[in-house]
Structure 1
Amino acid sequence: MDEQYLWEDKPELNITPLVDIMLVLLAILMVTTPTIVYQEDITLPKGSKSVKKVQDNMLEVRIDKHKKIYIKNTTYDYKIFPDSFNLLAKQYSKKDTSVFIRADKDLSYESVVYILKSIKEAGFTKVSLVTNG
């Protein structure tokens, strides 16, 4: 009967302390991992010794909220801008020159499109609107 009593006793494994320890280790790992900074020593290659191309083929058109148009140091009137710009455009290579339009945010869409259309009609193909974003 003693032998039978030994086999009836089922051992129970108490895993609560093990789970507690694992949760503490997991919490420590989760807290410390974001603060670890990995640093690799990287030697970047040297760039070419060529000179950076100066962007002379760029034209900037600025329009204020009163519809005054500025190109370099010259001021143009909104109503006669297409004619004035056609005269100015003769000085530039229209295929290679980029035109950037900076317009005040209070201008109507129609006013900005009018300037854009005038520049396109003058023969420029690289025309962009500049935003603050």
Structure 2
Amino acid sequence: MIQATELRLGNYVNLNDGSEHDKIRQISGIEHKIVYTLIKGCRFAQVHQSFDRIYPIPLTEEIIIKCGFERSEYNDYRHPILFGTLTLYEGVAELHISDMYSVWVNNLHQLQNLYFALTGEELEVKI
């Protein structure tokens, strides 16, 4: 489960709606106890769910590449706009912003939020 304070409009999350598989959805609205998500392929269709059905998307190589990062060496990835190197470990990534500063990132929405905080722009995610 994700707390409301962790989310921004445009974040991608897993929606567990009781079906067999989780569904990746984009956040389109946040209220007190409800989050609205867009249905892929439908421009205006939204689904509302309680926060207990919203889960983070873990960072994997596939997700990182869909965010525009390119593999440089070992488990290191670089983004054309973002300074530093993203190193992928087992289920977690470390963004090395400089030799003296790094940030741990566990999930896609955290990477999206960090990217926005550093660049002032939305991270393009090709899901």
- Same fold, TM-score > 0.5, yes or no: no
Higher Rg of the two aligned structures: 1
TM-score by length of 1: 0.23
The structure that is helix-richer by fraction is 1
The structure that is strand-richer by fraction is 2
